Structure 1
Amino acid sequence: MPIHVNDVIQLLCRLSEVRGMKAAIKHSGRGALMAGLGAFTGGLMAGPVGLAVGGALGGLIAASMASGQFKPVPQIILELPPREQKKLYEDVRAVVRNMDWMDVAQLTALVMGSSSVQEKLLMVVTNYITKELGATIKYGE
């Protein structure tokens, strides 16, 4: 049975929502920019001592900006460009291709009733988010 990309995306969103998956995308570039900007500004204003103080303050600001920025995985999946959603779709098709189902509702019921299939699909989502987006995943809450 053919399955549409949007159906697969909805299935992954449902599964990741049930598991309470959240992801924090690393913003190391932005953090480095803040620390560098702080050091530069401090150096201009107070010389070598200002350089050290500005760098430290910039680093603290960058750390506070990055903390607690976990987004729900379903939101991340829905915001992916169509090309990236298609990548997820292909990986999911490889997992469910041998299952016997008639429509997306039946496929969803089969997936939600099988912990082993759920784990495989969660691994697809986790691998994509960690490798492609460079994010950290946390479960439940």
Structure 2
Amino acid sequence: MPLMVEEAMKLLCSLSEARKMKAAVKHAGRGAVQGALLWLLPADWKAPCPGGGAVGGLLGAWMTSGQFKPVPQILMELPPAEQEKLLNQVTAIVRHLEWTDAVQLTMLVMGSEALQERLLALLVGYVTKELQAEVQYGD
């Protein structure tokens, strides 16, 4: 069964919630990352004022605050193009599984330490490389 963006995001959210993952931007290059992410936002999400629209402003505010934010929240706020990029990477990991819905897929992944580790590595790599953020586990 082909994996949809929403299902991939739910899977990654479930996994990151189970590990209580949070992320925060860790260095002074925040402005460049914010600018890159604002560039990725669809035109209809950007307001005709400096700094991008509400979505870009909220994402930018988090990125410049240095505060930790739950990874599931970060994932759900990603622009569609970034979610699609994650979908492609998740699909490469779970393509051999047989499942009928997102709930069953999540159960299969949560039942396999090896799959969890591969998806966590993907997620941590994405957050640290693409968002240039630090990942923290637990409360």
Return closer, same or farther for 1:117/1:28 CA change in 2, 3 Å cut-off. same
1:30 CA displacement: 6.6
Code of the aligned partner of 2:3: I
Whether 1:70 and 2:68 are equivalent positions in the alignment is yes
Return closer, same or farther for 1:66/1:128 CA change in 2, 3 Å cut-off. same
Q: What's the Cα RMSD here?
A: 1.8
Give the SS at the match of 2:73.
Answer: helix
Contact 1:9–1:77 (CA<8 Å) still a contact in 2?
yes
Query: TM-score, structure 1 length as denominator?
Result: 0.70
Contact 1:25–1:134 (CA<8 Å) still a contact in 2?
yes
Whether 1:95 and 2:83 are equivalent positions in the alignment is no
**Rg larger in structure:** 1
Q: Work out the percentage of aligned pairs sharing the same amino acid.
A: 57
Q: How many residues align structurally?
A: 107
Return closer, same or farther for 1:124/1:29 CA change in 2, 3 Å cut-off. closer
Deviations 1:12-64 (A, max 9, x none): 01110110100011351579xxxxxxxxxxxxxxxxxxxxxxxxxxxxxxxxx
**Residues 21-60 of structure 1 correspond to what in structure 2 (within 5 A)?**
21-26=21-26, 28-29=28-29
1:74 CA displacement: 0.5
Show the counterpart of 2:3.
3
Query: TM-score, structure 2 length as denominator?
Result: 0.71
Distance 1:125 1:118 in 2: 10
Code of the aligned partner of 1:96: V
Show the counterpart of 1:119.
117
Show the counterpart of 1:130.
128
Instruction: Return the structure number with greater helix share.
Output: 1
Code of the aligned partner of 1:28: A
1:122 CA displacement: 0.7
Return closer, same or farther for 1:100/1:22 CA change in 2, 3 Å cut-off. same
Give the SS at the match of 2:96.
Answer: coil
Show the counterpart of 2:56.
none
Distance 1:136 1:94 in 2: 25
Whether 1:15 and 2:15 are equivalent positions in the alignment is yes
